[in-house]
Amino acid sequence: MRICIVKATNQIIEMQSRAVSGTLIGNAIAQGYNEADIEEREVTQAEYEAALNLDPIAIAMREAEAAAKALEQTKLTSIQDNLPSWNVVSNAVDNITNLAEAKTYLKKLSRVVYWLAKNSEV
């Protein structure tokens, strides 16, 4: 396997598993890179994975994925922390006896639907 990187940043421009020497340099030059700024090298799978750990684009993508997972986990935790049992919900509906109580309950229910639809508490 061959990779082509930007020397100054370690950004991987391209990887090909069956490239011939010079192919990736030619592709990078065709994309507008300066030949003096790039390097093509043959790497093993382990060396490719090590290069990905230095690539700022790959690092940013991993960090964005981790942030998205953390946000989703925070949302799920918040929902679980604020979600009463079904018995509590059922009893609340059964205990509505007047319009004011119905409005209060309907507003709480609307808030949950809004939260789920918008994917945000606010």
End-to-end Cα, the chain, rounded Å? 49
**DSSP assignment, residue 1?**
-
74 occurs within a structural domain:
no
The pLDDT score that the predictor gives to residue 120 is 67
The pLDDT score that the predictor gives to residue 53 is 96
Looking at 56, 72, 98, the residue that finishes a domain is 56
49 occurs within a structural domain:
yes
pTM of the model: 0.61
* 47 and 6 inside one domain: yes
Q: Which domain range does residue 28 map to?
A: 2-56
42 occurs within a structural domain:
yes
The pLDDT score that the predictor gives to residue 113 is 86
> From CA 73, how far away is CA 67, in angstroms rounded?
10
Q: Is the pLDDT at 101 greater than 80, yes or no? A: yes
Q: Is the pLDDT at 3 greater than 70, yes or no? A: yes
> From CA 27, how far away is CA 40, in angstroms rounded?
11
The pLDDT score that the predictor gives to residue 122 is 63
CA-based torsion, 54, 60, 65, 71: positive or negative: positive
Window from 3-17, 34-48, 72-86 with minimum mean pLDDT: 72-86
